[in-house]
Amino acid sequence: MVGLSPAYADDLTQCSQSFYGGIYPEFINTKLSNKTQALCMDGFAVMYSGVSRTPMWSAEHLTRQRLQQAKQIDREDSFHEESRLPTSMRAKLADYSGSGYDRGHLAPNGDMANRSQQYDSFSLANIAPQSPRNNRYIWRNIESATRYLTQQYGEVYTVTGVAFTDKKTKQLAGRVLVPSHFFKAVYIPATNQAGVYYAPNDESERIEVISVDTLAAKIGIDVLPVLDAQTKAQAFALPLKAGETLDTPDAQTEKPAWILFVWAILEWLTAQLQA
């Protein structure tokens, strides 16, 4: 990592299970790597920026089993400074106090399968200033939709991050930079398809789904470098809305299964009559 003592540097190969193919995101714009720190958390991996004092991205591997375990754990808020970071690079709890911004998770609490993972998700190394409506509505739906896709396809890999594309960047307490956008890249191994949720960090509730290549052009990071060119170039039609009903298998997966079962019976009966 650039400009850091080796004592603080994590080796992302130690948490390679968080990345598809074990390959972590690559900086296309190398200026973004200035004062970055890789952190292997319990259940996810983070690339932290000492310039913005936010994560650049957090990566997760989600499975049905992990999400089933996560449902058994109630939320315990435990926002805390990241002790593994040099003091000069850390975001502090006071930075967010009275700022008007939420402390937005990149790797969400709802994905965490045990208390250790949950605690790590509340590290400020996994937190960025987020517009309240974006965090509580748009992003909550996106996180729910991603869990639904995991239930549907068995596993997904996600890279959630922030972008700073505005000419003038806001700051909290003169220390923490406010992202212009949030994104969540989702890759589904079962179908070899990928797409990216991309939303401005404001109260507009706007969101679009773009390709991995389009994201790279916007933010200077290739979040899924191991994917083939065609998969990167095409944006999978990720669901834009996923409230609580989408997040429960009963409402979305079992009903279609029953419909398919009924169709199978009807097809069998038709075949018998024609025999």
Residues annotated as catalytic (active site), given as ranges: 105
Angle subtended at Cα 63 by Cα 115 and Cα 38, rounded to the nearest 5 degrees:
65
Q: Identify the CA nearest to 3 among candidates 38, 45, 37.
A: 37
Strands (E), the chain: 26-27, 36-40, 45-49, 54-63, 102-105, 127-130, 155-163, 171-172, 176-177, 181-188, 193-200, 208-210, 221-222
Widest CA span of the chain, in angstroms? 79
For residues 134-143, b (16+ Cβ closer than 10 Å) or e, as one string? Answer: bbeebbbbbb
